[in-house]
Structure 1
Amino acid sequence: MNEIFIDNDCKVCSAYGDWINKKNNNLKLNDQKNLSEKEIMLDTLVYKKEEKVYYFSDAVIMSIASLGGFYKSIYILKLFPKRIRDFVYNIFAKNRHLI
């Protein structure tokens, strides 16, 4: 079973977790507090698929793509360099509590 770890203190993160959990019955929703201390310090969405772990923009892309169908079109974002995707992700993540 795939797992997603979100910051439950963040309204945007919780809403994302609820949305993706409703769409994907094979997904276990967890609080970030259940991660290792090192992963908590990253302050990011974490998506675990089988034995592989995804962070930052990759976690968003892979968790949405796991929904299948039209949602797999999210892979198009992989055309952008990871550095740019993660830069945008981090800007959003740093300001997520203001939303």
Structure 2
Amino acid sequence: MCPCVYIMASWQFETLYLGVTSNMAARAWQHREGLVDGFSKRYGTKVLVFFEMHETMESAIRREKQLKEWQRDWKIRLIEEHNPDWTDLYALTMD
């Protein structure tokens, strides 16, 4: 188990989805395949553009709640600090 906070984006990078998971590889795959019902499926957020690992699920959930309060511009800045080209980070989850 590796608790993570993550941000998925639509292919056009117009829509962002913020979530938390204990299995980043499996969760990113679910998003890519359109298996996550609701907001993510409706807006096609399939590109993993940011994730950060946490030691505990409680820590990851706290961070997720914090980031959900952020303005969109702040989230974009966070993504671009770590992933300036908005590269799909899915392959990194396979390690």
TM-based fold match above 0.5: no
* Larger strand fraction of residues: 2
TM-score, normalised to structure 2, is 0.33
TM-score by length of 1: 0.33
Q: Which protein has the larger Cα radius of gyration, Structure 1 or Structure 2?
A: 1
